[in-house]
Structure 1
Amino acid sequence: MKKSFQSIILAGWLAFAFMPSLWGQTPAFPWPEGKKMALSLSFDDARKSNVDLGIPLLDQYGIKATFFVLPAAVESNLTAWKKAIAVGHEIGNHTMIHPCSGNFIWARERALENYTMDRMQKELIRANEEIQSLLGITPMVFAYPCGQTFIGKGVHTQSLVPLVSEMFLAGRGWMGEAPSDPHYADLAQLTGMEMDGKSFQEILPLIESASKNGQWLVLAGHDTQDSGNQSTYLSFLRDLSEYVNDPDNGIWVAPIGTIAQYVNETRMAIADTTNIPELVRADLGNQLILTAEKGRGIGPDIKYMPDWKAFGWFTSKDKVVWDVAIPSDGEYEAWLEWSVSDEEAGKEFLFQAGNESIRGTVEKSGSWETFKKKSIGKMTLRAGYVQMEFKPAVEFEEEALLDLKEIILKKVD
């Protein structure tokens, strides 16, 4: 699977690398075979109507879905669930006993407010073991019961997301308000958008929006029957299946785990060629590496250049901003990696972090293609969040400042 994914990634990336995107700096996400979007169908609780009605209908159209199961429910229809796996449907973990907030009266005896992280971890492990024993597979994906991602109450509240991130390839929520962005979404917090009780015409705008923006739409439901509470209607599934099977609509339909694996591998393959601003945290060596990929270009004409993995300046009003988490108080030395032509060298720059700043002159690097790294000075920083920015220190007209690849902050012992 890995080899086929990598070949798809490379082919897709070449095809889409320079298409415009929502951010301007970021290419469109390369879905396989030039698809416009991805779609996953998911169903919770291992309900009997899934194996009786839903799976047979989906099989007619060749569509494979993800089913987040409770082991006891699987055991009551074991033969049918084994058949579902055999034809390519995915099984996910949905805990042992479906704990939810005690605010739901029916969940009071298994309230998340009364859970500890240790208790939840043991329950997820046990559910995996039960599913492995029953079906011969270990789930790679998880759905939060009731879509709730916490345990505890008040000052004792903790997030389940880190645990799910450690144990599973992906975690799906419930009642989300937008599709997931494949460049940016936390795979442990995928949005699950409700399809229970909906007609195809009600869901179609979500599909069209996801297609336009190159997103991943994860639909979530429960029962699969003609009517009823918490039911994804069979009529909806028929209409949806016919629509997504039309190649002109450009939709890649696959289980959550399949798409999550592809997204994860694609991100790694293109990580240093895409500009996705995100919080900069210290690495294992306690360094803060402010790469161009993680910075936010602001200004009338600043450009992120994937071939050079750098930002290029074209006006004095351009700047790059990073959100940074300083690990500890202290003095930090800043190292700049840049390139510039001899003709454009010599302009002054300003690197700021809160009230601290370093002012310097852009030295010659040899050419635009030759990058150089040098210490530009030191600044005293306090632990916590700070916004840092690099910009020209003086105004100039229609000239370049430099090409900026990264700034590294090293704590001075």
Structure 2
Amino acid sequence: MHLKLLTGLLLASFLSLSTSAQTKKTNNAHKAIICLTYDDGLESQLTTGIPQLDSLGLKATFFLNAIQGSSPSDVIGQTPEAVLGWTNAAKHGHELGNHTLFHPCPKNLGWDSTVSIENYTIDRILKEISTQNALLTLLDPKRKKRSFAFPCNNNLIQGHDYVKLVHDKGLIRFARGGGDSNSVITDFKHLDPLNVPSWHVWTGTTLDQLISFAEKVKKSHGMGVYQFHGVGSQIFKISSETHRTFLEYLKAHPEEYWVTTFSEAMQFVTK
């Protein structure tokens, strides 16, 4: 009797959990998918962007190259602020992704020859991405698979796309590329998980422009990936007020937008 009762309770519990997970997936399938991604591990993301996200309970993806401020602290035995900041970000549910170690870009964008992509080999980029993964594991040990973002949205080394090899080596799972304010993803069947388009948000982008992109994603029942950099300061910056108000807009429309990390969104749309 007791065994039958226990079996029944376990079965009911399983069915309840299964139904709950199914309902969540079904609900999300009817929403626009919004991914907030941030590049380069900038200080303004730690001081302004993440606190704003956390205050509203929104999760984002941060693609880090090296670790800004990871040199030894002035106080012996004290953890550098950036290391502590990124560790806490991961603990709070944000995703830490790979953006290479030295952020190699084309010379014509002003990059020094020592870290320009023209002087890279496939072997060098593989070692760099692998090393960055090791650093990220120290900050975020729970995550076993990393997403990747191309530095300067460039995926070529000597004319060859290197990302598939990086994926096949097991170093990354998904990769984000570049794009513009028309880069709304609707054709999930043919979406390349190793070159997912995003909107590179430029300096001075307004609140209306940020919302307009989200509304295009909503209207098409698609997925939109924002590529931010500085929040309130630093490169490609948008004002902290604009950033905050945009987050509040997304938070105020949970029935329309599913705001999630890049990897979680990609796992959802690829399955």
Same fold? TM cut 0.5: yes
Aligned sequence identity (%): 27
One-letter amino acid matched to 1:233:
S
Match status 1:148 vs 2:154: yes
What SS class does the counterpart of residue 121 from structure 1 fall into? Answer: helix
One-letter amino acid matched to 1:47:
L
Q: Is the contact made by 2:37 and 2:60 (CA closer than 8 Å) also made in structure 1?
A: yes
Q: CA RMSD in A?
A: 2.6
Deviation at 1:257, TM superposition (A): 0.8
Q: 2:262 aligns with which of 223, 236, 256?
A: 256
Match status 1:205 vs 2:212: yes
Distance in 1 (CA, whole Å) between partners of 2:69 and 2:97 is 12
Structure with greater contact order relative to length (CA < 8 Å, sep ≥ 6): 2
Are residues 104 and 36 of structure 1, via their aligned partners in 2, closer, same or farther at CA, if it must alter by over 3 Å?
Answer: same
Give TM-score scaled by structure 2 length. Answer: 0.80
Aligned counterpart, 1:39: 34
Aligned counterpart, 1:84: 89
Match status 1:160 vs 2:162: yes
Deviation at 1:74, TM superposition (A): 6.3
Deviation at 1:138, TM superposition (A): 4.6
Distance in 2 (CA, whole Å) between partners of 1:115 and 1:34 is 41
Are residues 233 and 116 of structure 1, via their aligned partners in 2, closer, same or farther at CA, if it must alter by over 3 Å?
Answer: same
Q: Deviations over 1:274-301 (max 9, x none)?
A: xxxxxxxxxxxxxxxxxxxxxxxxxxxx
Q: Deviations over 1:117-144 (max 9, x none)?
A: 1221111111101221344245520010
Distance in 2 (CA, whole Å) between partners of 1:184 and 1:31 is 21
Deviation at 1:203, TM superposition (A): 2.0
Distance in 2 (CA, whole Å) between partners of 1:259 and 1:106 is 32
Aligned counterpart, 2:7: none
Q: Is the contact made by 1:100 and 1:148 (CA closer than 8 Å) also made in structure 2?
A: yes
Deviation at 1:251, TM superposition (A): 0.3
**Number of positions where the alignment pairs a residue of Structure 1 with one of Structure 2:** 241
Aligned counterpart, 1:170: 174
What SS class does the counterpart of residue 246 from structure 2 fall into? Answer: helix
Are residues 5 and 186 of structure 1, via their aligned partners in 2, closer, same or farther at CA, if it must alter by over 3 Å?
Answer: farther
Distance in 2 (CA, whole Å) between partners of 1:9 and 1:210 is 24
Are residues 195 and 151 of structure 1, via their aligned partners in 2, closer, same or farther at CA, if it must alter by over 3 Å?
Answer: same
Distance in 1 (CA, whole Å) between partners of 2:18 and 2:265 is 13
Distance in 1 (CA, whole Å) between partners of 2:127 and 2:268 is 29
Moved more, 34-43 or 82-91: 34-43
Are residues 204 and 134 of structure 1, via their aligned partners in 2, closer, same or farther at CA, if it must alter by over 3 Å?
Answer: closer
Q: Deviations over 1:42-62 (max 9, x none)?
A: 111111111111100111111
Q: Is the contact made by 1:96 and 1:124 (CA closer than 8 Å) also made in structure 2?
A: yes
Q: 1:113 aligns with which of 118, 126, 142?
A: 118
Deviation at 1:101, TM superposition (A): 1.0
Structure 1's unaligned 5+ residue stretches are 13-29, 266-413
Q: Residues 7-406 of structure 1: matches in 2 within 5 Å?
A: 11=23, 32-33=27-28, 35-73=30-68, 75=70, 76=80, 77-136=82-141, 137-138=143-144, 140-152=146-158, 157-166=159-168, 167-176=171-180, 177-181=182-186, 182-196=188-202, 197-225=204-232, 227=233, 229-247=235-253, 250-265=256-271
Distance in 2 (CA, whole Å) between partners of 1:158 and 1:34 is 35
One-letter amino acid matched to 1:125:
S
Deviation at 1:169, TM superposition (A): 2.1
Are residues 248 and 186 of structure 1, via their aligned partners in 2, closer, same or farther at CA, if it must alter by over 3 Å?
Answer: same
Are residues 214 and 6 of structure 1, via their aligned partners in 2, closer, same or farther at CA, if it must alter by over 3 Å?
Answer: farther
Structure 2's unaligned 5+ residue stretches are 1-14, 71-79
Distance in 2 (CA, whole Å) between partners of 1:4 and 1:73 is 45
